Structure 1
Amino acid sequence: MSSTTETRIPTLYEWLGGAPALLRLTTRFYEHVKADPVLAPVFAHMGEDHPAHVAAFLGEVLGGPDAYSQHHGGHPHMIRQHLNRHLEQAQRRQWVGLLLQTADELGMPDDPEFRSALIGYLEWGSRLAVINSQAGAEVQEDAPMPAWGWGEVKGPYRG
């Protein structure tokens, strides 16, 4: 492509369908969580607004609006939600796997580039959550919001 005909690369947020798609994903995901023996105990205390908060966080991370930072306190707030929860690798793996299963169930984009980028963030973010949930973890008040993009592939597959 010449520089005059370059196609704008959508953000991951745009590619997956924006806020409505993320809210469908997180709402359905947390319905599944309630029946999951590994995850239900971790999330039993979460309020009905939890899926919307997670959708806003994921949306911001994946290139959408900064709604989570504006209304909930950004990455430091998310870190605070994990302090002293003592999450384990089995819970982390189950969370990632169930979220991806839910994305499949809902027919979210499954092209290799998008899924690679999404899995990259979910692996990184969930491992960070485990670290931040252990005794002695502290919140960096100036921790920036993660910003996740396409990574090595530089955009969606356009076969």
Structure 2
Amino acid sequence: MKKTPTLFERAGDHQTFEILFRTFYAKVLQDDLLGDVFKDMSPHHVQLVAHFVAEVFGGDKLYTDQDNGSHAAMIGKHIGKMLTEEKRQRWVQLLLQTADEIGLKNDPEFRSAFVGYIEWGTRLAVINSQLTENPMDTNEPMPVWGWGETGGPYLPEEN
């Protein structure tokens, strides 16, 4: 019986993710809605995001091991950014457009899982961007995304 590949394996390799996010962030910087949000991003931002998503999709742990990143650190990058739903939608639109342009796998199963993660992650980014402190425990594990995850229901703590 043939082993089901991880999303990372189905996408390609680390170079696939680096090309995707390098091409994508070049568009973001030129975008009227998103350009100001990212104009001061670190020179390493693109690589960090490529490593993060590749790891979440089952690739090598470059984000946690090489970049000394964590899920809490990624969440922390969004704190206080006050992102809007309009910006989130534009970010998703540009990423999916870029995925098509670079020839990222487009079979329904892969794209469904890819879009599911992007929707989940960007919606969490908007929620966390409204906060002033990082709600995530520093020991929280990295998310792992596969062929059917939804991330579970989002249940914010009640005040």
TM-score of the superposition, structure 1-length normalised? 0.88
**Paired positions, count:** 147
1:149 counterpart residue number: 146
Work out which of the two has the higher radius of gyration on C-alpha atoms and give 1 or 2: 1
**Equivalent AA in structure 1 for residue 13 of structure 2:** G
**Equivalent AA in structure 1 for residue 143 of structure 2:** P
Is there any run of 5+ residues in structure 2 with no aligned partner, and where? Answer: 150-159
1:62 counterpart residue number: 57
Is there any run of 5+ residues in structure 1 with no aligned partner, and where? Answer: 1-5, 153-159
Q: Is the 8 A contact 1:60 1:66 kept in 2?
A: yes
Q: Is the 8 A contact 2:70 2:138 kept in 1?
A: no
Structure 1 residue 57: deviation in Å? 0.3
Superposed CA RMSD in Å reads: 1.2
1:18 counterpart residue number: 13
- The runs of at least 4 aligned residues of structure 1 exceeding 3 Å deviation read none
1:135 counterpart residue number: 131
Q: Give the whole-Å Cα distance in 2 for the aligned partners of 1:48 and 1:141.
A: 24
Structure 1 residue 137: deviation in Å? 4.3
1:77 counterpart residue number: 73
Q: Is the 8 A contact 1:23 1:51 kept in 2?
A: yes
**Equivalent AA in structure 1 for residue 51 of structure 2:** A
**Equivalent AA in structure 1 for residue 43 of structure 2:** E
**CA offset digits 1:9-29 (Å, max 9, x no partner):** 111001111100000000000
TM-score of the superposition, structure 2-length normalised? 0.88
Quote the sequence identity (%): 47
